[in-house]
Amino acid sequence: MGRYNRVLLKLSGEILAGKSGFGLDLEEVSNICAEIADVAREGIQVAMVVGGGNIMRGQQAVQKGMERAQADSMGMLATVINALALQDSLERMGMSTRVQTAVEMRQVAEPFIRRRAIRHLEKGRIVIFAAGTGSPYFSTDTAAALRASEIGASCLLKATKVDGIYDDDPAKNPQAKRLSSVSYREALTKGLKIMDAAAFALCQENNIPIIVFDVLKRGNLRSLLVDDKPVGSVVCSNPVGC
């Protein structure tokens, strides 16, 4: 087993939408869950925070006139739909899971209780955190950093469609350089769009490295967590020691 025994995986809603960009691509959900199940079977404790942008993009709704708190509440509910889809896929693979929500809805999921979440992880269950922080004005990146801090995660895995952090947008600039590691301070001062400032602050304060990697490449999660191979880019306090 690698250096990370308890991890928080941040999945965006867009990842679950597949090529369509909207809704749920159940084949893509299954592919991602197979990777997660593979590392969980190796004894890695896996918790997840999932976004809802494939169903409800709060920022777009605000730009069209919707009140921000209302739009964020709708976005939080969208994350619950995604969490239940992930749970169903994982359980069909034989994995024991629990969904915990920051907005109470006991008919479909447990409320978020920190000590209970940790106990689930200790028993080998995959825990999926939904509904963000339960409050508007906070991104799911911030929710991921918060939950990672609360459960004592050894790292926060930011699952993306690219293979790490670049000094510019690689989709627009073919000369963009991939950075193997950066400090929290560098990431903020250089304006690297990885996570928001609140998420960075939480990870820095609690010394939780952020690993940005391509979750769509088969085997990446296993290489990182089980084989302890360098995958993606790392944000930490001391890049030399990352």
Question: Domains in the chain, please, with CATH?
Answer: 6-241 (3.40.1160.10)
Is 97 labelled as part of a ligand binding site?
no
Closest CA to 49 of 129, 121, 103: 129
Sheet strands side by side (includes 97-101)? 110-111, 97-101, 126-130, 45-50, 6-11, 155-160, 210-214, 233-236, 181-183
Q: Which residues contact 77 (CB under 8 A, 6 or more apart)?
A: 52, 56, 103, 131
Is 138 annotated for ligand binding? yes
From first to last of its 242 residues, the chain has per-residue pLDDT tens of 568 999 999 999 999 999 888 999 999 999 999 999 999 999 999 999 999 999 998 888 999 999 999 999 999 999 999 999 999 999 999 999 999 999 999 999 999 999 999 999 999 999 999 999 999 999 999 999 999 999 999 999 999 998 999 988 888 888 889 999 999 888 888 878 788 889 988 999 999 999 999 999 999 999 999 999 999 999 998 776 56
Instruction: Determine if residue 139 is labeled as part of a ligand binding site.
Output: yes
Closest CA to 209 of 189, 190, 194, 222: 194
124 is in an annotated binding site: no
Q: Is 166 annotated as belonging to a binding site?
A: yes
133 is in an annotated binding site: yes
Cα–Cα distance between 196 and 138 in angstroms, integer? 10
53 among annotated binding-site residues: yes
Give whole-number Cα distances, 25 to 9, 55, 123, in Å: 19, 12, 30
Q: Identify residue 69 by its one-letter amino acid code.
A: A
Tell me whether residue 160 is annotated as binding: yes
Residues in Cβ contact with 106 at an 8 Å cutoff, skipping those fewer than 6 apart = none
Residue 149 annotated as binding site: no
Distance separating alpha carbons of residues 103 and 135, to the nearest angstrom: 8
Is residue 233 part of an annotated ligand binding site?
no
Q: What's the pTM value of the predicted model, to 2 decimals?
A: 0.94
Rg over alpha carbons for the chain, rounded to the nearest Å, is 17
88 marked ligand binding residue = no
> 12 among the known binding-site residues?
yes
Question: Any known ligand binding at 140?
Answer: yes
